[in-house]
Amino acid sequence: MRKRRAWPLSCARCRSILKPAHLNDVLDVATWPVVVKGASIAPAQEVGRGEDVLVTAQVRVAFVSEDVVRPIPKSLRSSMKADLV
C-alpha cells in the first residue's frame, strides 16, 4: 500500500491590497511564520515591487491528509519556530 503525503490547505484570513501591480513588474514575495502550532501555521506575507509594499496578508495553513488534519512533522515545526517574529 502506498503511503499518502500530507498536503497543506491554506485559507486566507485577511489581506490588504495597497497598490496595484502592472504587467511585467518584477515582484518580491516575503513569507514568515507568526504562529506555529501542532497542525497549523499562521504566516504573514507581503508582496512588493522595489520599495513599495503592494499587498499584505495573514493566512492560516493546516496540514491535511485524507481529509483529516495531521500534525506538522516536529523537524519542520522546529525550523519554522526558529524564524518566529
Q: What is the pLDDT of residues 38-59, one digit of tens each?
A: 888 888 999 999 999 999 998 8
pLDDT for position 71? 87
> Cell numbers 519554522 correspond to what residue?
80
pLDDT for position 36? 87
d(CA 85, CA 3): 35
d(CA 7, CA 21): 30
d(CA 82, CA 78): 6
pLDDT for position 15? 82
For residue 6, pLDDT over 80 is answered with no
Q: What is the mean pLDDT of the chain?
A: 83
Task: Name the least confident of 1-5, 44-48, 76-80.
Answer: 1-5
